[in-house]
């Protein structure tokens, strides 16, 4: 996925707004989160779970987004649901369809709904009315008629502001099942084959041409994560003695088990936490059935780069 700089949003068309426009950013998620305004972190640090909040004065001509890197989102806005503001008049929600990391609501402050304007905008699932992708859409001129969904408008909001709430229902959404491909050939997926049987403890993990089968669908997030086979209680497991060349398998998922404690990094490596080992494509081979293993993490090693699909 293309990772664009947030600086591009400074070039979007804007209408000058009052610098006194308020924006309250609230966290109702079950964990403390980092929040970002135009990709800049809050000076106050993390927002506490279940009610932590800060208040901001949006600058003149503000035209950008507010988001969090929680639950697999990234600071630059990739893989993240975003509360967008196209100057103070328009507000809308943008989603990354490949990763719905958190629900968001936007509510004008002290501006009651009237005639289709100043409505609450909430997105709690990836199929909500929202813009898909990274960039802001082209916004129409101001109009006495309310805009069509997923665009919202509130003429009075520049005088009163907004409340942006992460996790308005108090929970994180579950991650979607996704394939994991090697960067060396994105048509080759991390795979657990049953050979006609059922998934079971000890089944080896390999690469195989992507076919959308159940043995190629995984649940995981950016950051600290388990890598669970979707629809099962089996996790990617490195065994009791992870080391160079140890083959991977699936095993019943357990909490706090070091063999299943992975970290999916911003540079697309799956690191086994605490011992310097990474998920590795054995000898870089792309033949169906080539096993995956742990190996000492090394910068630039393409056998250790894994992409969600």
Q: Is residue 36 part of a domain?
A: yes
Q: Could you tell me if 140 and 225 lie in one domain?
A: no
Q: What is the CATH number of the domain that holds 252?
A: 2.80.10.50
Q: How many domains does the chain have?
A: 2
Cβ(6)–Cβ(76) under 8 Å? Answer: yes
276 dihedral zone (left: phi>0; alpha: psi -120 to 50; beta): left
Q: What is the pLDDT of residues 191-248, one digit of tens each?
A: 998 777 789 999 999 999 999 999 999 988 878 899 999 989 999 999 999 999 999 9
Q: Could you tell me if 260 and 213 lie in one domain?
A: yes
Q: How far apart are CA 245 and CA 237, in angstroms?
A: 14
What separation in angstroms does the CA of 276 have from each of 205, 244, 288?
Answer: 20, 10, 27
**Chain-centroid distance, C-alpha 203:** 29
Q: Could you tell me if 37 and 15 lie in one domain?
A: yes
More confident residue, 43 or 62: 43
Q: Could you tell me if 200 and 139 lie in one domain?
A: no
Per-residue confidence (pLDDT) for residue 20, from 0 to 100:
56
Angle (CA) 243-244-247 rounded to 5° is 80
What separation in angstroms does the CA of 68 have from each of 21, 57, 154, 268, 309?
Answer: 21, 18, 24, 19, 22
Q: How far apart are CA 220 and CA 49, in angstroms?
A: 22
Q: Could you tell me if 15 and 140 lie in one domain?
A: yes
User: Exposed/middle/buried for 275, CB within 10 Å: 0-12, 13-18, 19+?
Assistant: middle
Per-residue confidence (pLDDT) for residue 9, from 0 to 100:
36
Per-residue confidence (pLDDT) for residue 89, from 0 to 100:
83
Q: Could you tell me if 215 and 284 lie in one domain?
A: yes
Q: Is residue 175 part of a domain?
A: no
Cβ(277)–Cβ(238) under 8 Å? Answer: yes
Per-residue confidence (pLDDT) for residue 19, from 0 to 100:
45
Cβ(270)–Cβ(279) under 8 Å? Answer: yes
pLDDT of residue 46 exceeding 50: yes
pLDDT of residue 122 exceeding 70: yes
Q: Is residue 185 part of a domain?
A: yes
Q: Is residue 173 part of a domain?
A: no
- Which tokens in the block code for residue 263? 């970290």
Q: Could you tell me if 154 and 198 lie in one domain?
A: no
pLDDT of residue 1 exceeding 60: no
Q: Is residue 1 part of a domain?
A: no
166, 190, 208 — which closes off a domain? 166
Q: What is the CATH number of the domain that holds 72?
A: 2.60.110
Per-residue confidence (pLDDT) for residue 211, from 0 to 100:
93
Three-state secondary-structure class, residue 48: coil
Rounded to a whole number of angstroms, the CA Rg of the chain reads 22
109, 137, 166 — which closes off a domain? 166
Q: What is the pLDDT of residues 268-288, one digit of tens each?
A: 999 999 889 999 999 999 999
Per-residue confidence (pLDDT) for residue 56, from 0 to 100:
87
Q: Could you tell me if 162 and 186 lie in one domain?
A: no
pLDDT of residue 23 exceeding 70: yes
Q: Could you tell me if 103 and 154 lie in one domain?
A: yes
Mean pLDDT of 106-123: 92
pLDDT of residue 294 exceeding 90: yes
Per-residue confidence (pLDDT) for residue 88, from 0 to 100:
62
Q: Is residue 148 part of a domain?
A: yes
Q: What is the pLDDT of residues 127-146, one digit of tens each?
A: 898 998 777 778 888 889 99
Q: Could you tell me if 184 and 162 lie in one domain?
A: no
The pLDDT-based confidence of 15 (bands split at 50, 70, 90) is very low
> In terms of Cα–Cα distance, which of 3, 120, 12, 136 is closest to 66?
136
Domain that residue 260 falls in = 180-308
The pLDDT-based confidence of 81 (bands split at 50, 70, 90) is very high
Q: Is residue 71 part of a domain?
A: yes
- Considering the chain, what is the average pLDDT of its residues? 87
Cβ(167)–Cβ(111) under 8 Å? Answer: no
Per-residue confidence (pLDDT) for residue 8, from 0 to 100:
36
More confident residue, 86 or 151: 151
Angle (CA) 212-217-218 rounded to 5° is 160
Instruction: Identify any residues that bridge with 196 across adjacent strands, giving them in sequence order.
Output: none
Per-residue confidence (pLDDT) for residue 13, from 0 to 100:
33
pLDDT of residue 24 exceeding 90: yes
Q: Could you tell me if 132 and 193 lie in one domain?
A: no
Per-residue confidence (pLDDT) for residue 133, from 0 to 100:
77
117, 142, 166 — which closes off a domain? 166
Mean pLDDT of 154-173: 87
User: Exposed/middle/buried for 125, CB within 10 Å: 0-12, 13-18, 19+?
Assistant: exposed
- Is there a cis peptide before residue 150, judged by omega within 30 degrees of 0? yes
Q: Could you tell me if 196 and 293 lie in one domain?
A: yes
Mean pLDDT of 107-116: 90
Q: Is residue 171 part of a domain?
A: no
The pLDDT-based confidence of 253 (bands split at 50, 70, 90) is very high
pLDDT of residue 98 exceeding 90: no
The pLDDT-based confidence of 123 (bands split at 50, 70, 90) is very high
Q: For a pLDDT cut of 70, what percent of the chain falls above it?
A: 90
């Amino acid at each position: 996925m293309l990772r664009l700089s947030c600086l591009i949003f400074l070039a979007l068309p804007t209408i000058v707004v009052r610098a006194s426009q308020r924006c309250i950013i609230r966290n109702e998620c079950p964990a403390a989160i980092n929040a970002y305004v135009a990709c800049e972190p809050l000076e106050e640090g993390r927002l506490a779970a279940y009610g932590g909040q800060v208040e901001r004065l949006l600058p003149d001509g503000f035209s950008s987004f507010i988001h969090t890197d929680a639950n697999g989102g990234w600071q630059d806005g990739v893989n993240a649901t975003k509360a967008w503001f196209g100057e103070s008049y328009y507000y809308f929600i943008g989603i990354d369809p490949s990763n719905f990391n958190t629900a968001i609501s936007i509510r004008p402050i002290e501006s009651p709904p009237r005639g289709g304007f100043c409505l609450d905008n909430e997105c709690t699932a990836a199929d909500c009315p929202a813009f898909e992708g990274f960039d802001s859409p082209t916004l129409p001129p101001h109009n006495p008629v309310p805009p069509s969904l997923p665009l919202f408008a509130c003429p009075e909001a520049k005088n009163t502001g907004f409340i942006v709430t992460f996790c308005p229902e108090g929970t994180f959404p579950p991650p979607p099942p996704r394939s994991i491909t090697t960067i060396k050939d994105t048509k080759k997926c991390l795979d657990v084959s049953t050979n006609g049987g059922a998934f079971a403890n000890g089944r080896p993990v390999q690469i195989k041409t992507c076919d959308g089968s159940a043995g190629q669908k995984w649940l995981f997030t950016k950051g600290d994560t388990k890598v669970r086979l979707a629809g099962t209680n089996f996790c990617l497991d490195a065994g009791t003695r992870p080391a160079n060349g140890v083959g991977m398998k699936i095993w019943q998922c357990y909490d706090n088990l070091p063999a299943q404690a992975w970290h999916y990094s911003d540079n697309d490596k799956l690191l086994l936490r605490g011992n310097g080992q990474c998920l590795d494509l054995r000898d870089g081979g792309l033949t169906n059935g080539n096993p995956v293993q742990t190996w000492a993490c090394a910068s630039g090693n393409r056998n250790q780069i894994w992409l969600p699909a």
